[in-house]
Amino acid sequence: SVELRARPLSTLPLLEQAARELYLASEINKSEADVPDFQLQLHSGAHAKKLRSLKSDDLGKLVKVQAIVVNASKVVIKGRLVVLQCRFCGHEKRLAQEHGFSGMRIPVYCEARTARGADGCGVDPYAVVAEKCRFVDFQILKVQETSECIPTGEIPRTYRVCADRYLCDKLVPGNRVNLTAVYAINEFTYLSSGGSAKAAKLPYLYVVGHENDDVVGR
């Protein structure tokens, strides 16, 4: 649909939640804890774009690109729902982690604002309660333009790609793929050589589906 193509990061969670609700409604004597983690995987019938043709107008939208995998990291664990607890007053706070490379900011002060002296619960009072958190598999890949897409004399374009849950550990270096992904931006700060904080933005692809070359070519 138009909504899915234009705003995939807000639409996909709604569709996955609908799948969970349908599963729960169709299963007798099943509780919320018994519902599996559904992940919607998309395959676009659109013509695949070249990596170098991605523009700012594509940001936040669903795109299909042709590429070759040149590097794949090990699968790691990433918190999707992180539960924090104040070490002094026991106040709990839940933080949801968005898709892709987005991070989360842990509050510096306790949000319960308990009166424990002038500084309340002090600075950095929150600790992660691991047994209450929800984790997912997460993997970072690097893809590059295929040889036929590189103009003569040009350097191949590369992009970082992130995959999570059931899409992890599916691609290895050397795979030629058509990726259905969300074109996104990772914003972060770093310290320059002079010691001042600098802001940077790096584009990346959050994959929501892929087809290997041997499938595409049939």
Confirm if 134 and 80 have CB atoms less than 8 A apart.
yes
| Long-range contact set of residues 114-117: C-beta below 8 Å, sequence gap at least 24 | 114/86, 114/88, 114/89, 116/88, 116/89
Amino acid 96: pLDDT:
87
pTM: 0.83
Average pLDDT rounded to a whole number, residues 199-205: 86
The whole-angstrom separation of Cα 215 and Cα 170 is 14
Highest mean pLDDT among 64-73, 113-122, 145-154, 189-198: 64-73
Q: Is residue 76 over pLDDT 90?
A: yes
Q: Residue with structure tokens 């992660």?
A: 128
Q: Residue with structure tokens 């059931």?
A: 166
Q: Is residue 218 over pLDDT 60?
A: no
The whole-angstrom separation of Cα 102 and Cα 206 is 11
Residues sharing a CB contact under 8 Å with residue 33, sequence separation 6 or more, in sequence order: none
HEC string of the chain? Answer: CHHHHHCHHHHHHHHHHHHHHHHHHHCCCCCHHHCCCCCCCCCCCCCCECHHHCCHHHCCCEEEEEEEEEEECCCEEEEEEEEEEECCCCCEEEEECCCCCCCCCCCCECCCCCCCCCCCCCECCEEECHHHCEEEEEEEEEEECCHHHCCCCCCCCEEEEEEEHHHCCCCCCCCEEEEEEEEEEEEEEEECCCCCEEEEEEEEEEEEEEEEHHHHCC
Average pLDDT, the chain: 86
High-pLDDT (> 90) share of the chain, %: 46
pLDDT tens readout for residues 157-172 = 999 999 999 999 999 9
Amino acid 114: pLDDT:
55
Number of Cβ atoms within 10 Å of the Cβ of 52: 15
Average pLDDT rounded to a whole number, residues 89-116: 81
Number of Cβ atoms within 10 Å of the Cβ of 9: 17
Out of 18-22, 81-85, 114-118, 172-176, which region has the weakest mean confidence (pLDDT)?
A: 114-118
The residue that leads in pLDDT, 92 or 201, is 92
The residue that leads in pLDDT, 180 or 196, is 180
pLDDT tens readout for residues 23-73 = 888 877 777 777 788 899 998 888 888 999 999 999 999 999 999 999 999
High-pLDDT (> 70) share of the chain, %: 90
